[in-house]
A and B are shown apart, each in its own frame.
Chain A
Amino acid sequence: AQSVTQPDIHITVSEGASLELRCNYSYGATPYLFWYVQSPGQGLQLLLKYFSGDTLVQGIKGFEAEFKRSQSSFNLRKPSVHWSDAAEYFCAVGAGGYNKLIFGAGTRLAVHP
């Protein structure tokens, strides 16, 4: 069965520090992978997606993610975190025709000034 694991429930970083959020997936075929961000009281916003091609994907707000098939991972990175990046981040895999998204449990990011 398809699944997504985000090992870190909470992460705290200092403003200006680099960030890496981990995501591991389980899926039998080539996955469609997504990262979404959810600010408090808001819906989810797509940061970036991977369907095929270049395994390093650039997204909005300065985020990028790298697809590593050998490790079944799709980790999200940002070189320098801003206070406004504090939010919850969800990794998701597209399954069953790729409209059906399966989400990880999320990682809550706190940013210290």
Chain B
Amino acid sequence: DAGVIQSPRHEVTEMGQEVTLRCKPISGHDYLFWYRQTMMRGLELLIYFNNNVPIDDSGMPEDRFSAKMPNASFSTLKIQPSEPRDSAVYFCASSQTVNNEQFFGPGTRLTVL
């Protein structure tokens, strides 16, 4: 298996623009997680899905952030409009069942100018 795939790996955009981050989980994994990593706040869980359904989105910072999982093999995290404080590395992870290891993707480094 290719592991968790994220695209793009790097994204540079200007404040106010819409940003869409993409994730393909490992085939057969029922859980998908979105994390954000910053120097100030470390690794934070933003939202996670089970069988394509959002279970806990309490970590989503504000309404500018939204996440979807239209099918078992694809998820998006959208920021609209983006702000410089959204600059971070965004990770997607997936796991097979509850309590199992989470496999992380390589991350998307987002820079908002």
* A100 and B56 contacting across the interface, CB-CB below 8 Å: yes
Minimum distance in angstroms from B35 CB to a CB of chain A: 8
Binds A, one of B11-19, B69-77, B100-108: B100-108
**Main SS class of interface, B:** strand
* B42 and A106 contacting across the interface, CB-CB below 8 Å: yes
Q: How many A-B residue pairs have CB under 8 A?
A: 47
* A94 and B99 contacting across the interface, CB-CB below 8 Å: yes
Question: Whole-angstrom distance between the alpha carbons of A100 and B73 in the complex?
Answer: 21
Q: Does B2 contact A (CB under 8 A)?
A: no
Q: Does A46 contact B (CB under 8 A)?
A: yes
* A99 and B101 contacting across the interface, CB-CB below 8 Å: no
Q: Does B91 contact A (CB under 8 A)?
A: yes
Q: Does A13 contact B (CB under 8 A)?
A: no
* B101 and A97 contacting across the interface, CB-CB below 8 Å: no
Closest 6 CB pairs of A and B: A43-B104, A103-B43, A44-B104, A98-B99, A105-B42, A43-B106
